Structure 1
């Protein structure tokens, strides 16, 4: 089975190095996920994200003339917009959270005002 640029496939991590991870693709070919393509945030230690035998979804970034395959885990994930849509909430949930926030905020402000007044010696002084 040949892999095509832009294709998303499931592979198995066969090796982890400080610079990236080698992933075996369907059909027996292998590719490299560079450390910069592991996650949407800075990855200092790749071992905190991947280990040998992990199954990962990868996107094929390029296939070189020499047969080297460049892969990305982060680009295989759903776009941010799609993830954001799942987090959206109903208006009732928003109103409930807003109400709780306002109540908490008012309680904190009254506590701060009381503390400030006690330091100044109370009202009217």
Structure 2
């Protein structure tokens, strides 16, 4: 008896192959699917290999099922990948420097203690 899958359901899948456009996956009962590169996270993904590896098992949400049974899946609602997005949203010190209107050693001297405190706070919160 084959398991019935439905759109919106979360399933554990194993990555069976990686291509530049996404990752091929299989369920435990050998149902095939694809996680398109645009469905890995909400942010731009340049390389699928940075997020997924062959043999990795991930929890994905079914967003479509074709007539032949193949599934389209997303990782955007997977908590692990959401955390990675949140980490990417943190701005680096260099981005903050670029936003300041004043440049030079005096502005760096004024801002350095603030940046050091922010970095220490982030390290303590992780």
Structure 2 length-normalised TM: 0.59
CA RMSD of aligned residues (A): 2.5
Q: CA deviation digits over 1:23-65, x for unaligned, max 9?
A: 1113210100000001221001111111101111100001111
Equivalent residue, structure 2, for 1:120: none
| Structure 1 runs not aligned, ≥5 long | 85-106, 110-125
Whether the aligned pair in 1 keeps the contact of 2:31 and 2:69 (CA below 8 Å) is no
* Cα separation, 2, equivalents of 1:3 and 1:11: 13
Matched pairs, number: 85
Q: Which of the two has higher C-alpha Rg?
A: 1
Equivalent residue, structure 2, for 1:17: 19
| Structure 2 runs not aligned, ≥5 long | 87-108, 112-126
1:69 equivalent to 2:71? Answer yes
Q: 1:27 aligns with which of 26, 29, 49?
A: 29
Equivalent residue, structure 2, for 1:95: none
Equivalent residue, structure 1, for 2:56: 54
Whether the aligned pair in 2 keeps the contact of 1:37 and 1:75 (CA below 8 Å) is no
